[in-house]
Structures are given as C-alpha cells and as structure tokens.
Amino acid sequence: MIALIAAVSLNGVIGKDGKIPWHLPQEQQRFKRLTMGQSVIMGRRSFEEVGHALLHRQNIVLTRNPDLHWENVETAGSLEEALALRRGLDCYIAIGQQVFEEALPLADFLVLSRVLTTVSGDPFFPSLAGRPFVRAKAPLLAPSGLWQEEIWVRQRCLFSLEKKAATVRSLSYRLSKRDVSNHDRRKRSWRFCL
Ligand SMILES: NC(=O)c1ccc[n+]([C@@H]2O[C@H](COP(=O)([O-])OP(=O)(O)OC[C@H]3O[C@@H](n4cnc5c(N)ncnc54)[C@H](OP(=O)(O)O)[C@@H]3O)[C@@H](O)[C@H]2O)c1
C-alpha cells in the first residue's frame, strides 16, 4: 500500500521557511503511530528539517546528489528508485510540493491532517478538486479541535472493495491508537536494522 501523508492547512500550506508552520504534538504522534515499522520516503529538505533518521522505520530520502549520505538512511535519485527500495508492507510518502505530482498517480491512499486554520507560507499541498480521490470516511476531529484526520482513497484503486475497506479500517485503527507500545516497537524494530 502506498500512501501520501501530510498535514495541510485550510489554505493548502504545508511548510513555511523550511519548517512546519504549527506545533501539534498529537498530530506528530499520529504520524509516528501510522508509520512505525513501515517505509517512509521523504524529500531531502524535509529530511534535513527532521535532522535524523526516524526510529524503527525504513528511511528513504530523495536526493539527486549522489554524495549525500546519512546514518540509517537509504538515498534514492528518483521516486521510482525509492519505491524499489521499500521493504515495508506499507509505504508512506511524506514529501513537499515538488514530488507531489509525480507521487499522486502512484498513491492508493492519502492520509491528511487538515489543520483548521489558514497560514501564510509555502510549499502547498495542491487542491484535490478534480483528482481521482474520494474521502473514505467522514473526517474525524482531533480532541484538541485544532485539526481533523482525513483518509482519501483512489477511486479506481486496484484493491478489491473488501481490501479497500479493510485498509481504511486498519489505517483508522492505527491512527486512533493512543501510542505505540514498547512491545510493538520491539516487535517491529528488527525489520529495519540497517
Ligand atoms: N506539513 C507536512 O506534512 C509536511 C511534510 C513534509 C514537508 N513539509 C514541509 O515542506 C517543506 C519542504 O518541502 P519542499 O517541497 O521544499 O522540499 P522536499 O520535497 O522535502 O525536498 C526537496 C528535495 O528533494 C529532492 N527531490 C525532490 N524530488 C526528487 C526526485 N523526483 N528525485 C530525486 N530527488 C528529488 C531534491 O533534493 P536535492 O536538492 O538534494 O537533489 C529536492 O531539492 C518544509 O517546509 C517542510 O517543513 C511539510
């Protein structure tokens, strides 16, 4: 399963001055819960903002510079190369605007945190109007009331209806879990020791 994952303001902003323009710890926890034990693809700038490999995940960073290397990170010169490297059952693409158009046709799902405010900044997450994605379920408001969770699914996804429904249930379940337990971490971490 390939999903694009992003936190997006009401006016589509995802970043400002190379950083994320809000501080929402619960939203960050949600990213962690969902991606734990899976493959995460990031653009080089987004990765540099984080500054280190995400623990217990396969980290794949997109860069056209073959001289760049980081600890516990695999680099790829194209999205195609990055997808060929993935070892996770699920792959989350957390990229900025640049790769969006290239990644969208490959995504089965979009997992968005809609931050319920307008902010100035760039890059933007392009509008989904006219794109072949529909909301898989009603948005779920976070307890803080500051953002809502949205799961979108490709209209003509290659998944069967049953598999689509099962994946939406599994995504919702993992998003709603309070935290990743140490037990889960131990269980999953062996997979991505580089
Ligand atoms: N709100 C969110 O969910 C979210 C998520 C991610 C990022 N962000 C924000 O978005 C901003 C960064 O996004 P961005 O669009 O400026 O940059 P980005 O997508 O994170 O990184 C861009 C870099 O990725 C590499 N790259 C891009 N496309 C590539 C391709 N097809 N093949 C190989 N390498 C490729 C290039 O690296 P080289 O220059 O090294 O070749 C490019 O300069 C930050 O403000 C960050 O905070 C927000």
Q: Is 44 in the pocket of ligand 1 (CB under 6 A)?
A: yes
Identify whether 194 is part of a domain: no
Identify whether 45 is part of a domain: yes
Identify whether 145 is part of a domain: yes
- How far apart are the CA of 192 and the centre of ligand 1, in A? 23
Q: Is 126 in the pocket of ligand 1 (CB under 6 A)?
A: no
First to last CA, the chain: 22
Identify whether 112 is part of a domain: yes
Pick the atom of ligand 1 nearest to 122's CA: 45
Q: For residue range 125-178, list pLDDT tens digits in order.
A: 988 999 999 998 889 899 889 999 999 999 876 677 788 788 888 888 877 765
Q: For residue range 4-15, list pLDDT tens digits in order.
A: 999 999 999 999
Can you give the pLDDT at residue 183?
Answer: 42
Q: Is 82 in the pocket of ligand 1 (CB under 6 A)?
A: no
Can you give the pLDDT at residue 178?
Answer: 53
Query: What is the domain count for the chain?
Result: 1
pLDDT category, 107, cuts 50, 70, 90? very high
Say which CATH number the domain at 53 has.
3.40.430.10
Can you give the pLDDT at residue 93?
Answer: 96
Identify whether 191 is part of a domain: no
Residue 122 · residue 144 · CB < 8 Å:
no
Higher pLDDT, 174 or 44: 44
- How far apart are the CA of 91 and the centre of ligand 1, in A? 17
Identify whether 193 is part of a domain: no
Can you give the pLDDT at residue 171?
Answer: 84
Q: Is 34 in the pocket of ligand 1 (CB under 6 A)?
A: no
Residue 108 sits in which domain range? Answer: 2-185
Q: What is the pTM of this model?
A: 0.88
CB atoms within 10 A of CB 148: 15
Closest by CA position to 19, among listed 43, 41, 39, 49: 49
Ramachandran quadrant class, 51 (left: phi over 0; alpha: psi -120 to 50; beta: rest): left
Identify whether 190 is part of a domain: no
Q: What integer best gives the mean pLDDT of the chain?
A: 86
- How far apart are the CA of 85 and the centre of ligand 1, in A? 18
Identify whether 140 is part of a domain: yes
